[in-house]
Amino acid sequence: MASPTPPTIFAPARRRAMRGRMRVLERRPDAPRFLAEDMAEDVLDRLAFLRHHPQRALVVGDATGLLAEALTAQGCKVVRADPAPVAGELAIDEEQPLPDQGFELIAQLGTLATINDLPGAMLHIRRALAPDGLAVMSLCGAGSVPSLRQIMAETDGDRPAARIHPQVDVRAGGDLLQRCGFAEPMSDSRMLDVRYSSLRRLVADLRAQGLGNCLARPGPLLGKAGLARAEAAFAALADGDGRVTERFAILTMSGWNKALRPPKF
């Protein structure tokens, strides 16, 4: 029996535009890079702990280049890719089979949170791994941006609109790894808190790191009145220093490509 068509939650064209805008904004000297840097450093920590020394790796979404550069320095041949590639990177569509196979490491940094067929993408990743290859997939998961969620809820009042993406939690991540046939699946989450002095700076940081709204059916524009309500809601959340703490829950799913692990659909 054929697998059911996944629901259309995200608009691919809006997603590409969002990612393309991020690639432009990231060139600024003061661009926020804390999510990409945290994800890259975490992959390197995991590789060191597991004593996994890949000779060939596919790195997707490495906006800072930190992970690719570190792997290259270790003697690994790195193929860089992105849904909105720049010079030297491959264009990639995570919902299609990967352009190559036989990678001893595939690292996905932040790009899997906005695709409609996450199980299918993870299955493509496993199939592109070499035997005993490792996949590490990081994204902003459940529990992210709770302050912004509260602000938007208060802004919309009795007419809530779709403004923030649905998010994957740790348990769902583990289930997906098992369904897709990964061996030794691991799903965990860590929290990264950032303090903001204004709603505009918070939204700017989200956009600059590829976390804007790319829903297929987004809510209506706020307008001047809505923006004023949102800024008032932000101010109401602020602490004594006039700042709001926003939380980013980074979900990391990892697993190995071992023999005799067929996907479970």
Confidence at residue 214, expressed as pLDDT on a 0 to 100 scale: 93
Judge whether 77 lies within some domain.
yes
Q: CA 233, 237, 239: angle at the middle one, nearest 5?
A: 145
Confidence at residue 262, expressed as pLDDT on a 0 to 100 scale: 54
- The whole-angstrom separation of Cα 80 and Cα 237 is 40
Judge whether 89 lies within some domain.
yes
Helix, strand, coil shares, percent, the chain, to 5: 35, 25, 40
Judge whether 42 lies within some domain.
yes
Q: What's the predicted TM-score (pTM) here?
A: 0.92
Please count the structural domains in the chain. 1
Confidence at residue 259, expressed as pLDDT on a 0 to 100 scale: 67
CA distances from 25 to 21, 135, 138, 219 (A): 6, 28, 21, 24
- The whole-angstrom separation of Cα 155 and Cα 222 is 9
Confidence at residue 264, expressed as pLDDT on a 0 to 100 scale: 58
Confidence at residue 106, expressed as pLDDT on a 0 to 100 scale: 98
Confidence at residue 99, expressed as pLDDT on a 0 to 100 scale: 82
- The whole-angstrom separation of Cα 44 and Cα 54 is 11
CATH of the domain at 132: 3.40.50.150
Helix/strand/coil (H/E/C) assignment for every residue in 31-84: CCCHHHHHHHHHHHHHHHHHCCCCCEEEEECCCCCHHHHHHHHCCCEEEEEECC
Judge whether 264 lies within some domain.
no
CA distances from 33 to 37, 38, 173, 187 (A): 6, 8, 24, 23
Judge whether 184 lies within some domain.
yes
Beta carbons of 218 and 163 less than 8 angstroms apart: yes
Confidence at residue 3, expressed as pLDDT on a 0 to 100 scale: 62
Q: Could you tell me the strand order of the sheet in which 244-256 lies?
A: 90-91, 77-82, 56-60, 103-109, 129-140, 244-256, 183-196
Confidence at residue 131, expressed as pLDDT on a 0 to 100 scale: 96
Confidence at residue 157, expressed as pLDDT on a 0 to 100 scale: 87
Mean pLDDT by groups of 10 residues along the chain of 265 residues? 76 93 92 96 98 97 96 98 93 91 96 96 97 97 96 90 91 97 97 97 95 91 93 96 97 89 55
- The whole-angstrom separation of Cα 96 and Cα 120 is 8
- Identify which of 265, 197, 257 has the alpha carbon closest to the alpha carbon of residue 52: 257
Confidence at residue 263, expressed as pLDDT on a 0 to 100 scale: 56
Judge whether 262 lies within some domain.
no
Taken as a whole, the chain contains a residue count of 265
Which domain does 32 fall in, by range? 12-144+168-192+249-256
Confidence at residue 1, expressed as pLDDT on a 0 to 100 scale: 39
Judge whether 238 lies within some domain.
no
Judge whether 149 lies within some domain.
no
- Identify which of 168, 169, 167, 163 has the alpha carbon closest to the alpha carbon of residue 149: 163
